[in-house]
Structure 1
Amino acid sequence: MSNAQTVPATGTPTTDALPAENYKMVDALGHQLRVYDEGPADAPTLVMFHGAPHNSLEFRFNVPALVQAGYRVVIPEHLGAGGSDRPISENVSHLNGFFIDPALDQRKRSWYMSYFQFEAAEEALRADDWALAREFFDWHPDMEHIIADWERPNGLKASWLNWYHATVNPDRAPKAEPLPDVTVPVLQLYSMNDPYIGPDQLITGREFIKGPFTLKRIGGAGHFIARNAPDVFNREVIKWLGDRESERRGN
């Protein structure tokens, strides 16, 4: 099963938080992760992973609709982000295809990954009230939340820069084995004006997705689809999950 369709993005509501009572701390291999957990314990569970440089608040416009649709939503904040430990250290299709040749367009879009290898990057991002960072994310409506996270002790390095230090530095990054193919059903949402992930990545990444695949192209949402077009994100995800459940039950 495979199809592609462009869905227009629309405006977003306004709220600043998720209910504090739904957060808990969870031990993970000796580190403490802050995890958001809402919905009935016996309901189908959706685990949502936020991207860098955000935290669980990235999904605050999605959680209510998903819970209302009958799901339990669990959002772990990755190391360095939100309330999780800060040790020193999405739109993307299958990672095996991220830099496969020909990938010049994607390498150009990912220039910042190389820039962040230099210590000067942190000072440059902080300068003039985060002017460079604000310009880099000028389409992101949660910039004040993100900067507040960065300004906590070790915040910028732990929640953003060190992820690139550890994964894409050509001298220090570990040479990992290729990831396995994905064999379960996949829904991929892609914004047609994503400045970070090029359309070629959809083609190379698709080679490693062997299960049923559905592509939805979202117009005008930038890179952060769940945040910038939550109504479209919620509708498409809930419908896709419902279709998979109907298939599972043989309906």
Structure 2
Amino acid sequence: MPHLTPPTNDTIYLSNLTLTTTIAPGDVWSRAGKPTPVILSLRLLLPSQDLARPGHSDNVEHTISYGTLAKEVTKAIAARGSFASLREFAEHVSLASLVLAGRKDVAVETRSVLPEGLLLAEGVGVEMRLVGDPKMMSELANAVLFVDRLRVACVVGVNSHERLQKQWVVINLRLWQFPEEMWTTYPAAMKVVVDTVEQSEFLTIETLATEIARVMCVQFAVERITVAVEKPSALTFAKGSGVEVTRSRRFFVQE
């Protein structure tokens, strides 16, 4: 969907930089210590009109070189070698970027994706935002764990032909507040989600999305989650149609 307001920051960014490292809990089969690809996108958010000087001077020394940024991030990842979680990886990248910027008025946003992180999903990853002033840093409260395009087959739909056989649904998850151990135990949680969806026979994807949220909140103590469920084959002339819900653990406890 389009952004309806103009940005207020000047930005230097890297898009889909591919790196290789070791991140727990491991590769697509959760084998510990196996190197895995990581796709990193990074945005340095600068004050408004901060790039006016290099824009006028045409001098690369008056800006933060995106080439240097890519090299420093790659070097920092290689020097570390391995990471205890996706969160630790994202924090390391963010701090290396802020060190290079060397300023307190800069923030960094990162999106780190493991394309081989889950067997049935296109990716699992973390989105994080950190600011350059240490006094303003929270304890990574702005770190979000997400799962992209988890594909599962199930019976779902109100039409008679939809009750005859399973069809694919595509699930996207964003975990906003959750126990710390979820950073390394997400494969087990996703297995429960897959099993739940495969065994379900709901009429609506609204109910299916709610049931997925219930599983994550009740069984895995997730405090807040957004669940999107899409049916790619529901409409002939649309690539997909679906619903998205955001639920809290409190919502299900009060039922």
Q: TM-score, with normalisation over the residues of structure 2?
A: 0.23
- Write 1 or 2 for the structure with the bigger share of strand: 2
Could you say which structure has the larger radius of gyration?
Answer: 2
**Greater relative contact order, per chain length (Cα 8 Å cut-off, separation 6+):** 1
- Greater helix proportion: 1
Q: TM-score, normalised by structure 1?
A: 0.24
